[in-house]
Amino acid sequence: MFKNQQIIVFSPFYISPHFSAEQTQQLLLDLKQFLKNIHQQKHHFSQFFLIDDGNSPNIKEILLQLQQTYPWLNIHSHTKNIGLDQSLFQTYNFLLEKNHLNESDIIIRLDADGEHDPSFIPTLIEKINAGNDVALCQIQYHSLHQQEFDLEFNTFQGALQGEIILGKGKKLLHNSPGFSAYTLKVLHTILPEVPNYLQRYELKYHEPCKWGADLVLLFHASLNHFHIDTTSTQPSLLKPANRSIAKMLDQLRTNTQHLQLMLELNSKPKEDPNRKKN
Q: Where are the beta strands (DSSP E) in 167-223?
A: 180-183
Q: Is the pLDDT of residue 40 over 80?
A: yes
pLDDT value of residue 153: 64
What is the maximum alpha-carbon separation in the chain?
A: 63
CA angle 231, 235, 240 (to 5 degrees): 125
pLDDT value of residue 244: 66
pLDDT band at 219 (very low <50, low <70, confident <90, very high): confident
* Residue 278 domain-assigned (yes or no): no
* Measured distance CA(111)–CA(223) in Å, rounded: 25
pLDDT value of residue 240: 62
* Backbone phi and psi for residue 54, each to the nearest 5 degrees, phi listed first: 75, 40
Category of 228 on φ-ψ map: left (φ > 0), alpha (ψ -120 to 50) or beta: beta
How many domains are there within the chain?
1
* Residue 57 domain-assigned (yes or no): yes
Distance of CA 261 to the CA centre of its chain: 20
Q: Can you give the residue range of the structural domain that contains 231?
A: 7-265
* Residue 183 domain-assigned (yes or no): yes
* Residue 78 domain-assigned (yes or no): yes
pLDDT value of residue 202: 86
pLDDT value of residue 159: 76
* Residue 273 domain-assigned (yes or no): no
* Residue 123 domain-assigned (yes or no): yes
* Residue 178 domain-assigned (yes or no): yes
Q: What share of the chain is helix, strand, coil (3-state, %, to 5)?
A: 50, 15, 35
CATH code where residue 179 lies: 3.90.550.10
* Measured distance CA(19)–CA(131) in Å, rounded: 43
Q: Which carries the bigger pLDDT value, residue 265 or residue 90?
A: 90
Mean pLDDT, the chain, whole residue set: 84
Q: Which carries the bigger pLDDT value, residue 253 or residue 46?
A: 46
Cβ-Cβ contacts under 8 Å for 69 (sequence gap 6 or more): 35
State pTM to two decimals. Answer: 0.87
pLDDT value of residue 259: 77
* Measured distance CA(88)–CA(82) in Å, rounded: 10
Q: pLDDT tens digit string along 68-92?
A: 999 999 999 999 998 888 999 999 9
* Residue 2 domain-assigned (yes or no): no
How many CB atoms lie under 10 A from the CB of residue 254?
Answer: 13
